[in-house]
Structure formats: structure tokens, C-alpha cells
A and B are shown apart, each in its own frame.
Chain A
Amino acid sequence: MDRYTTATLRVNGQDLQVVFPTHHTLLEVLREECGLTGTKHGCELGECGTCTVLVDGEPVLSCLALTAEMEGRSIETVEGLQDGNELHPLQAAFADLGAAQCGYCTPGMLMTATALLAENDDPSADEIRTALAGNLCRCTGYHKIIEAVEWAAGVVRGDAGAGPAREVLFGSSVPGEGS
């Protein structure tokens, strides 16, 4: 039968004491023991990026990380992004631009983008594309995701002029203005 491990995990700034089967991945323990089901899975083989969380600020595929090795490290998930009722600039930009569709890859995208902005608060579109290349999305064609990350970067920098073009916010066809 399963052997269990007890560990204290620091998740989204809180210490959680969890007991879990020793062989379970960080993905499983976050979703099952911690009740943090915001982190999703798409392959459990490290191929799709959906389960990305931050460990000590670095994006990590939680489906490949063993929880037993996570003691003492700082884990961040999508549930920890917002500040009270205030959405993180990335979350806000995703909402404003319609960058989430089914929303399943979105937590992984948000976490990867969080790590990118921590490292580079003024990334080019190409740098954003490269950073997100390990996160698969089937709904959006990445278009609005990339725009959202660009915009959020501007907000994070405090760049008042940062903002998307009008058609990005309102769609390419503005009612009442013809097509």
C-alpha cells in the first residue's frame, strides 16, 4: 500500500501541513490535498504546460514535480494571484481583452506570464511568444493572450501610456460605425 509523507508546503504565502502518498506529484497534492483545483492538467507528461505553477518564482510543471521535494520552497498557484478582490494586472488584462476562452490553459498561462514579467517587465511580442511556447492553448490562437501580457506588462511598469489599441479592446467591428 501507499507510503505517506507529511510535509509543510508554503503555498501562496501560507504554510499548509499536508499528508500525501509519497509518490504523488505537486499537481496531485495541490489539487487533492490542498483543494487548489485551479491548477489543471492536460497530459501529465510535461508536454502541454497546463499545470504550470511557480516554485521559488520559476515556472515548474507541477505534473513532473514530486511534492516530497517541495518542503521549504515557495509555491504560487493561480489562486494566489489576486490581491483581495483586486485582480492581478495579468488577470485583469486577460479579462479586458478576452484572452481566456474555455479557461483551461489559462492558469498555466497566467503563471508562466507572471514569471516572465518578474524577469522582464517590458517584453516584446516575440519574447512573450517564446516565454509562452511551452503552454499549449487550443481555443485562442494565442493572439489575445500575447496582447494581454503586453498590456499587463505596461500596467506593472506603471506606464500610463500603456494600453491596447482600440480594436483590441472593442473588437475589430465597432457597432454603429460600419464595418
Chain B
Amino acid sequence: MGAHPHVGAGVLRNEDPQLLTGRAIFVDDVHLAGTLHAAFLRSDFAHGRLLSVDTSAAKRREGVIAVYTAEDLGDYWCHGPLLVPPPPIAGLTFNTATLVPLARDRVVHVGEPIAVVVAESRYIAEDALEDIVVDIEPLPVVVGLEEALAPDSPVIHEALGTNVAAHVVQQKGDYEAARGDAHTVVSRKFSYDRGVAGAIENRGILADWNARNEELTVWDTTQAPIPIRNGLAERLGLLQSQVRVVAPFLGGGFGPKMMMFYPEELLIPWISMRLERPVKWIEDRAESFFATTNERLQLHEAELAVDSEGRILGVKDVFLHDSGAYDPYGITVPINTQCTLLGPYRVPNYYSEFTAVFTNKTIVTPVRGAGRQHGVFVMERLLDFAAKELGIDRVEIRKRNFLTPDEFPHDHEILFQDSAPLVYDSGDYLPAMEKAAEMIGYRKFLDEEQPKARAEGRRLGLGIVSYVEGTGIGPYEGARVSVEPSGKVQLATGVGTQGQGHFTTFAQIVADQLGVDVTDVHVVTGDTREFSWGTGTFASRGIVVAGSACHEAAIVVRKRILSVASEALEAAEDDLELADGVVRVKGSDLSISLGELAVRANPLRGAVAAGAEPGLEATSYFGPARGTTASGVHAMIVEIDPETLEVSIQRYVVVHDCGRLVNPVIVDGQIHGGVAHGIGNAFFEELVYDDQGQLLNASFMDYLLPTATDVPHMEVAHVETPSPLNPLGVKGVGEAGAIPVGALYAQALEDALQGAVEIREIPLSPGRLFDLVQDAEADS
């Protein structure tokens, strides 16, 4: 064992004994006596004037305790916060339209809540929804992005006078001049659509106002319990110390469970305070399609200017982005698109312009990848088309344009979602590409396997694409490490956890510093009573920001341990070592356990030196100046059935770089899940809206998540370029797998179809492929 026996090892997960035996507590597993149950009446119309809501019959139903509409909320009714203000980009337009707790005079998307019923059971509450009479005067509906911007389009937010949510131009160099020098310019239009997060656990909230203690406890399926605690305290006129938000085990997050201040999140605690009873709301699956945020369409018009060797001279991209009915999360998703498009490539001139558009659909906020998919798709497709036009191999054109290790840190001269300059901290792209090409057998496939298969009438295709991912952004996270008299270590941090393995990876980091077993580090996350400062789990930042805070706190505690032990053992600190839960004088059997040291550090008698703190405990914070850049290459081989255009994945290879791996088993699992989400996005999942803004497939029977028979075995390898921006050298990995899969499918399917079609859209399906092939045949 080296200096870091735990970090880097695929140790067993601390959380598994609870999760695998059914003991782990999720929000809906918390049962409090006397709990009331809430159900929401939601708009059936995508756009309309709310003329009246009559709740009298619902209130008369036996078992109904209360019914609230916007009018009943009094001062509590107001627009929610703008969660992420846009970065300070010159010339930026941003029009704010944040959520309201219940619709008051207008509904702007199907599923927007209008009233809430609170009853003795969920059954009664749902039945009572049928008793409510709502009068909505339908208004013309805004569905399409281009239509939304037409001069005669209906306007969703009248006060704004426009459906433009944001307009942003970011550029570097002079694209038009570069275009003038180009040997070849490739121009295309692209459409890239995405779908739901699809966490298997729906959202849920249980609020319990204790009127005697004047304390509010809220169990919430949130990725960001501390911001929710802070916001609830502010809105409810309570001290933060009176509000405890607990995000226990969560059944997946993937973005939409962030600090959204959803209507339900604001209302259930308020109702609990009014009724002085615990109140629970658990979202159902249909609601999750309408009322939980998702991600959707962008339309791009893009071009790539290259020299005769395929070297990139510049990229221009102008796109529309669907914001949905409100934009509480600012421009995070489209700005991620803008910044991720550049990929691992040297792009000397870049012009990127986007318009985010309000539509009468569910709100768009980040979902695993958060707009990065769209950008990667555009860039990778443009490179594929340029390679074809110039007769250059697709791997070769990428290699020619990769940034090289001596070019880091690399400043792209535009701003990222965190308002910091988009600067890649580190990376090494060529070895990842070579490794992926080798693993998938690139040359052999093209030279032997594919021609042989074609001769047999089989259609095999290969795809290979690259991407980078900005991860681990600020502002900060914190951690508190305490050694207890039992010798066990308590580690508390503020981020929520939704399956990333934080109970293990954070423990590994601390265990290395303190010389204890990983299982002796007890991790608490997502409980504001245990840790009060921080933001949350999003943007692939948990291990980078919270993990680094754990590391820093553990170093301080280690120093304190050595100081107390030095006195106890009458030995110099340099002569001491920490291992196996004891401090030992090197080369002797003189030792003292951490538990005994914890007692000594917190004496019941005697004096503590002035300025000294009791206990073996420290709290540290880590705030990176900017995010760290992960990257990867995915490759796959597909076979297409020539009759049905059904696609089967024969091999799937990932070479990924997330810097130093804290737990390779957990990292691989994160990548596997991301890829599966990406496969869903590319080939199975699509939110189908009609021209009235009605979602036509709001169930898992109609909206297809990939199943165990759809996701292939994956071969994963790593290159490790440690990040210089944090003490562990780590980069985020939670979203990575999902990002390049659309681009990968497009290239592989085109290859399999022998150039019969050009793919400029995602998602695909056998039906859509059939249409594309038919259209191409009709054209030729």
C-alpha cells in the first residue's frame, strides 16, 4: 500500500448494505403519523386565460382538509427566484420569466399547477381534483421555435412583449475573415432534440411543521438541499436554523431535481405550516413528464471552414433553443452548447449566436449533459462532412485538429456557464483517440470486416467521435471531518447524493489522510442540520468540489491528530505514522488509537491552551476559480437490418479522461449509465408534442427508456491527465457518458448505410431511418 491506499481502488460501496437490503430511506419511505396527502390540479391547456377556479365542491368532499388556489396564497404568491443569472456577456439580452407557485390568470404549459387539494389520503385528494371546476379560455399555442419568433406569433409572457428568452453572441477571432481563407466550407442545418431525465424515483416532498418547537422539517428529493433550505426560510419568514431540509437517499437525479423551487416544493411546506400537520406529495409518472423539467430541441445552422488539409480555420453556429414556458435556470443549457461545441479541437475563429425561445411546453433545465450533446453533435457532424468532402479519414481529421498537451491551459476567449472564462485546464486527446481506435479495431474493421460483411449483404457501420466536458464548477462546497471517541470518523458535506457513490468516494479521500478503513468513515450528505453551507450536486462537480473539501478538511484533522499524538507519545510529529486507526511511533510498538486521541483532545478537566480548538475536528471549504475539463472518445460498431432498419450495437468502446480516478468501479458505472442515457436520446426517447402543445407520450409505455436488451456490453478504458485545479487531480464524470452518443450514432449509421443518407438530426428510430432512406432514394 502506498501513501494513498484507498483513493484509486475499487473499494466496496459504504451505502450498499442499506440499499441492497431495502433498508435505505427514500423520501416516500418516511411515514409520519397524521400525514395528509396532496394532489395538484394541472392545466389541460398549453396556453390559456384562467378565468375562474371553483373549488367549493372539492372542499365539501369527505376527507378533504383544504384546497388552495393562487388567490388563497395571499402574499406567498410571487414569482420564484432566477436561479442562475446569465454570465456578463457583452450585448446579451435576457428576459426573465420565473415560475409561479400556482397559475393565477394565465396557464402557459400543460401540467402547470392551478390548485392543490390536501386530504386524508392520496385517493381522496385525487378524487377531489375531479370536483374542481376550471374555466380556461384557450389562447393560440406557441410550439415551434421558428414560429415562436415570427412577427405574428402569440406572445406567452405579455409583459415581455416577445418570445425571446435570451439572445447571446460569443465570438473569438474573426470567423468571416477565416472563411475567406478557407479551402472548403461545410454548411448544414441540424436539429437535436432531447428528453426526460427519467429518474426511476419521481419527485416527492414531505413537510412537517412542528408548531411546538417552531421547526420545519422537509424531506425533499432535491439535489441541492441547502439552497432549498435557504430559499424556504426566506420565503416563509423563518430562520435558516428553523428549517431542516433532508435529501435522504434519492432514486436518481440527473438534473431536474436541482434547486428548482418547484411549485410543489414551495407549497407543501407552506401548507404544513398552515394546517400544522405533516403533508406529503409524491409525484406520479405522468406528472413527471409534464411538471418536472426536461431538455429538448435546438435547431442549428452551422458551418465549418477548413484548409486543404482539413485543419479548422473557423466555426460559425447560429441556433435556436427551446426554453419552455419559463426560464428560471437562465441560459445554462444553451451556453453549455455554445461552449462544448468547440470540443477537443483548435478553433482559432468562432462565431456563436443563439436565441433562446419561450414555448408553451414544460420548462427546460439541465438534464445529464445539459446542452453539451447538442454542441458535440454539430461539431462532430461538421468534421465528418468535411472529412468526406476532402477525402480525409475521419479519425485523421480529428487528430489533425486536437489541441496538444503543450497548449494547456487553453483559453477559448469566451465565457462558460459559471461566468468564468472557458479555459481548458488539461487534457491529452490524441492517446485517447488512438486507444479507442485500437480497441474498436478501426483499421481492421474498415479494411476487412466491413467489406466482408457487405459482400454478405450485411450492413455494418462504425462510429468514432470525441468530446470535452466542462465539469466541477464553483462556487464552493464544504466538509466537516470529526474523529470520535469510538475511533470512527464522521464526515459531513452539503451536497445531495443520488447514486454517485459519495458515501464511498468521499470516505476514501478522508480514509487516506487519517489512516482508517473506508468503512470507518461515516458520510452524511444532504441534511442541512449536519452541514449548513454549500450548493449541491450538479454539473459533474461532486467529487471535484465537495471531494476536494473533504480532502482539505482531512488534512487539517490529520495535523491535529499528529499534534495531540506527539504530546501523548512524547515523540516528534515527523516520527509518527497513521495507519489502521492508530498513530504509531515509526519503528516501535508505541502507539495510541485515534479514539483515545479524540478523548484527549476534548478533556473534561485541565486547561486547554488559549486559541486551541477542542476535538479532532475541522471544517474546510473548496472553491475552484473555474471548472476542470474532462474528455473522451466513444466508438461503436452497429449492424442495421436492411429490411426493418432495426439497429443492433455489436461493440461499444469508451476511452475516458476524468483525471485521477477515486474509485474506478464507480467511475465505470457512471460512464455505463451515461452511455445508456445517450443511447436512449439517440434512438429511443422523444417527447412528442402536437400543435396544441399536448405531450402525446407521457408514459413509459410510449416514451421508451432503453431496457436491459437495448444497452450493449461496454468496454471502458481510461487515460488520466490530472487536473491542476484541485488537490486530488480529479475531474467530473457523472454526465460524460451521455454526451457524444447522438453524434456517434449518426456517424455509425451513415457508415452502415454506405452514405445513402446524411444524418443531421437526433433522435432517430427505425421508422425515422426508413423515412430518411426513402427520401434519399426519391431524391437520387
The distance from the CB of A81 to the nearest CB of chain B, in whole angstroms, is 7
Q: Is the interface of A mostly helix, strand, loop or mixed?
A: loop
Do residues A98 and B13 form an inter-chain contact, with CB atoms below 8 A?
A: yes
Known A91-B20, A100-B16; contact A48-B8, beta-carbon cutoff 8 A: no
Do residues B200 and A98 form an inter-chain contact, with CB atoms below 8 A?
A: no
Complex contacts, A9 vs chain B, CB 8 Å = none
Complex contacts, A103 vs chain B, CB 8 Å = 15-16, 18-20, 24, 249, 251, 499
Do residues A79 and B201 form an inter-chain contact, with CB atoms below 8 A?
A: no
The distance from the CB of A123 to the nearest CB of chain B, in whole angstroms, is 12
Known A47-B699, A98-B13; contact A132-B708, beta-carbon cutoff 8 A: yes
Chain B residue with the shortest CB-CB distance to A143: B672
Asked if A110 is an interface residue, CB under 8 A from chain B, the answer is yes
Chain B residue with the shortest CB-CB distance to A41: B28
Do residues B200 and A105 form an inter-chain contact, with CB atoms below 8 A?
A: yes
**CA–CA, A163 and B273, complex, Å:** 55
**CA–CA, A37 and B248, complex, Å:** 14
Known A78-B22, A103-B20, A146-B708; contact A171-B252, beta-carbon cutoff 8 A: no
Other-chain residue from B200, B675, B719 in contact with A48 (beta carbon distance below 8 A) = B200
Asked if A75 is an interface residue, CB under 8 A from chain B, the answer is no
The distance from the CB of B663 to the nearest CB of chain A, in whole angstroms, is 7
Complex contacts, A35 vs chain B, CB 8 Å = 31
Known A43-B285, A138-B252; contact A102-B13, beta-carbon cutoff 8 A: no
List B664-712 residues whose CB lies under 8 Å from chain A: 664-670, 672-677, 699-701, 705, 707-709, 711
Known A172-B718, A179-B717; contact A140-B672, beta-carbon cutoff 8 A: yes
The distance from the CB of B454 to the nearest CB of chain A, in whole angstroms, is 26
Q: What per-residue 1/0 map shows which CB atoms of B25-37 lie under 8 Å from chain A?
A: 1101101000000
Complex contacts, A173 vs chain B, CB 8 Å = 661, 664, 667, 717-718, 720
Known A38-B23, A136-B200, A143-B713; contact A104-B665, beta-carbon cutoff 8 A: no
Asked if B714 is an interface residue, CB under 8 A from chain A, the answer is yes
Do residues A141 and B675 form an inter-chain contact, with CB atoms below 8 A?
A: yes
Interface size class of B (residues with CB under 8 A): 35 or more
Known A139-B252, A141-B714; contact A40-B661, beta-carbon cutoff 8 A: no
**CA–CA, A35 and B249, complex, Å:** 18
The distance from the CB of B304 to the nearest CB of chain A, in whole angstroms, is 32
Complex contacts, A32 vs chain B, CB 8 Å = 31
Known A45-B285, A78-B21, A146-B708; contact A98-B665, beta-carbon cutoff 8 A: yes
Do residues B499 and A95 form an inter-chain contact, with CB atoms below 8 A?
A: no
Complex contacts, B82 vs chain A, CB 8 Å = none
Other-chain residue from A43, A104, A129, A140 in contact with B699 (beta carbon distance below 8 A) = A43
Do residues B665 and A179 form an inter-chain contact, with CB atoms below 8 A?
A: no
Asked if B202 is an interface residue, CB under 8 A from chain A, the answer is yes
Instruction: Count how many pairs of residues, one from A and one from B, have CB atoms less than 8 Å apart in the complex.
Output: 222
Asked if B284 is an interface residue, CB under 8 A from chain A, the answer is yes
Do residues A104 and B200 form an inter-chain contact, with CB atoms below 8 A?
A: yes
Complex contacts, B318 vs chain A, CB 8 Å = none
Do residues A104 and B664 form an inter-chain contact, with CB atoms below 8 A?
A: no
Asked if B63 is an interface residue, CB under 8 A from chain A, the answer is yes
The distance from the CB of B92 to the nearest CB of chain A, in whole angstroms, is 35
Chain A residue with the shortest CB-CB distance to B19: A103
The distance from the CB of B705 to the nearest CB of chain A, in whole angstroms, is 5
List A92-109 residues whose CB lies under 8 Å from chain B: 94-98, 100-107
Complex contacts, B200 vs chain A, CB 8 Å = 40, 42, 48, 50, 102, 104-105, 136-138
List A61-87 residues whose CB lies under 8 Å from chain B: 77-79, 81-82, 87
**CA–CA, A44 and B62, complex, Å:** 25
Question: Could you tell me how many residues of chain A have their Cβ less than 8 Å away from some Cβ of chain B?
Answer: 69
**CA–CA, A21 and B701, complex, Å:** 28
Known A104-B200, A136-B700, A138-B677; contact A77-B661, beta-carbon cutoff 8 A: no
List A112-166 residues whose CB lies under 8 Å from chain B: 125, 128-130, 132-146
Known A42-B285, A171-B665; contact A142-B251, beta-carbon cutoff 8 A: no
Asked if B365 is an interface residue, CB under 8 A from chain A, the answer is no
Do residues A42 and B201 form an inter-chain contact, with CB atoms below 8 A?
A: yes
Do residues B10 and A98 form an inter-chain contact, with CB atoms below 8 A?
A: yes
The distance from the CB of A13 to the nearest CB of chain B, in whole angstroms, is 15
Chain A residue with the shortest CB-CB distance to B703: A47
Known A47-B285, A142-B711, A172-B718; contact A110-B31, beta-carbon cutoff 8 A: no
Asked if A4 is an interface residue, CB under 8 A from chain B, the answer is no
Do residues B663 and A171 form an inter-chain contact, with CB atoms below 8 A?
A: yes
Known A42-B200, A139-B499; contact A110-B10, beta-carbon cutoff 8 A: no
- Which 8 pairs of residues, A with B, have the shortest CB-CB distance? A38-B22, A171-B664, A102-B499, A104-B251, A103-B19, A141-B676, A175-B8, A141-B672
24 examples of A-B residue contacts, CB within 8 angstroms: A37-B29, A40-B201, A45-B285, A45-B700, A48-B200, A79-B21, A87-B20, A96-B12, A98-B10, A98-B665, A102-B19, A102-B201, A103-B251, A103-B499, A104-B26, A106-B20, A133-B708, A138-B673, A138-B705, A139-B669, A141-B675, A171-B663, A174-B664, A175-B8
Give residues in A with beta carbon < 8 Å to B. 1-2, 21, 23, 31-32, 35-45, 47-48, 50, 77-79, 81-82, 87, 91, 94-98, 100-107, 110, 125, 128-130, 132-146, 169-176, 179
